[in-house]
């Protein structure tokens, strides 16, 4: 099991998720991340450029959960839970 930690921005995004009725989908993804962030269901992408070393999973077509994995510490840092295009 991995420990989830949330940035301040991810905590703010969680409020938006709740208001937009995407909470069940986001919670399902977080459950997968807690179990094993490298399971490919739902699929994830490794990001590039400024976000090298960061991963992304779709909540819906527009919104994603953006996270970083610290394997040695068994920690998943959730960076964003909304869109990373803003």
Residue 41: inside a domain, yes or no? Answer: yes
Q: Where are the beta strands (DSSP E) in the chain?
A: 3-6, 44-46, 55-58, 64-70, 75-80
56 has a pLDDT exceeding 70: yes
Q: What CATH number corresponds to the domain at position 51?
A: 3.30.2310.20
Total structural domains in the chain? 1
DSSP designation for 72: T
In a domain, 13, yes or no: yes
Contact 56, 64 (CB under 8 A): yes
Q: What is the dihedral of CA 9, 37, 23, 7, to 10 degrees?
A: -10
86, pLDDT greater than 80: no
Residue 85 resides in a domain: no
Which tens digits make up the pLDDT trace of 13-54? Answer: 999 999 999 999 999 999 999 999 999 888 999 999 988 999
pLDDT of residue 44: 94
Tell me: pLDDT of 70 over 60. Answer: yes
pTM: 0.90
Beta strands 75-80; 3-6: pairing state: parallel
Average pLDDT of the chain, as a whole number:
93
Please tell me the distance from the alpha carbon of residue 7 to that of residue 59, in angstroms, as a whole number: 18
């Amino acid at each position: 099991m991995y420990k989830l930690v949330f940035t301040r921005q991810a905590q703010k995004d969680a409020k938006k998720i709740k208001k937009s009725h995407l909470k069940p989908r986001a919670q399902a993804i977080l459950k997968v991340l807690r179990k094993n962030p490298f399971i490919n269901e739902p699929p994830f992408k490794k990001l590039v450029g400024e976000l090298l070393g960061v991963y992304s999973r779709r909540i819906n077509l527009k919104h994603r959960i953006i996270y970083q994995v610290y394997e040695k510490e068994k920690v998943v840092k959730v960076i964003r839970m909304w869109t990373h295009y803003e």
